[in-house]
Amino acid sequence: MSQLPKHVAIIMDGNGRWAKQHKIATALGHRKGVEALREIIRYSSDTGIGVLSLYAFSTENWKRSREEVDALMGLILDFFKSEIEELHQKGVRIRILGDVEGLPEKQMRTVRSAEDTTRNNIGLQLNIALNYGGQAEIIRAVKSLSNKAMRGEIQLEDIDEQAFQKELYTHDQPMVDLLIRTSGEMRISNFLLYQCAYAEMLFPQVLWPDYTVEMYRQDLQKFGKRERRFGGREG
Ligand code: FPP
């Protein structure tokens, strides 16, 4: 493959519509979505993608029905319990983006333990956004820098892009090269706002449970063909 993105971010949209299409409960749409995500993670790891960020649960998702939130929390728990061994074996490092403290106790302990288990792995860096909001992440960074400035640990002049990036959940990782959002919606929906500054974006029409590894492979290829200028001119 000509040029592989170092960091791919995915908004896995369309589980609800998929369930509706198939006349089944929304929760089953999400379950099908987990199957798709398993394949995409495996392929990313095998292909040598550096970082894969998945939007699993936003701070706004708490507004959904109790039933749907419970179903998602259950799937998250099952996912970590059933996948951790294989991921660890493949050298995948798991990192949670978001306010883990705000998750139910069981989920919090399970995801923290997955982070601990895989801490030293140097394969695919798998970021899973849980109870995550991009604006909240930026505000968290601002507060941390302000605190450091107030305590005299840094000067105002020290605050630049590099210093700011160090305060993000993705502090030691490259910025997003490619953002994929399925289901045809063309929005960023508060996902990795800072990190997507120069991201190429693709919006495949398919609903997330129907997104296959072959489609992903083609999207990675489309990225390889795009010319990226980061605000400069070609040549
Ligand atoms: C968007 O579909 C998807 C979500 C809000 C959740 C995505 C979560 C998973 C795929 C499973 C859980 C994650 C892990 C890591 C195990 P939607 O429900 O907004 O779809 P709609 O717009 O068609 O209703």
What spacing in Å lies between the alpha carbon of 33 and ligand 1's midpoint? Answer: 7
What spacing in Å lies between the alpha carbon of 76 and ligand 1's midpoint? Answer: 11
Q: Provide the whole-model pTM.
A: 0.96
Give 58-90 pLDDT, tens digit per residue: 999 999 999 999 999 999 999 999 999 999 999
Tell me the C-alpha to C-alpha distance, in Å, between residue 214 and each of 24, 166, 210: 26, 35, 11
Q: What integer is the mean pLDDT of 35-52?
A: 98
H-only helix segments in the chain:
15-21, 26-47, 66-89, 105-118, 134-150, 161-165, 213-225
Which domains are present in the chain? 7-133+176-223 (3.40.1180.10)
What's the CA gap between 26 and 48, in Å, rounded?
33
Residue the block writes with tokens 């500054």: 197
Token pair of 198 as six digits: 């120069």
Q: Is pLDDT above 90 for 229? A: no
What spacing in Å lies between the alpha carbon of 221 and ligand 1's midpoint? Answer: 25
Nearest CA to ligand 1 atom 1: 13
Give, for ligand 1, the residue of 10, 15, 44, 70 to mutate: max count of ligand atoms closer than 8 Å to Cβ: 15
Is there an atom of ligand 1 within 6 Å of 15 CB?
yes
In contact, 195 and 215? CB cutoff 8 Å: no
In contact, 90 and 118? CB cutoff 8 Å: no
Give 4-14 pLDDT, tens digit per residue: 999 999 999 99
Q: Is pLDDT above 90 for 226? A: no
Per-residue confidence band for 102, with pLDDT thresholds at 50, 70 and 90: very high
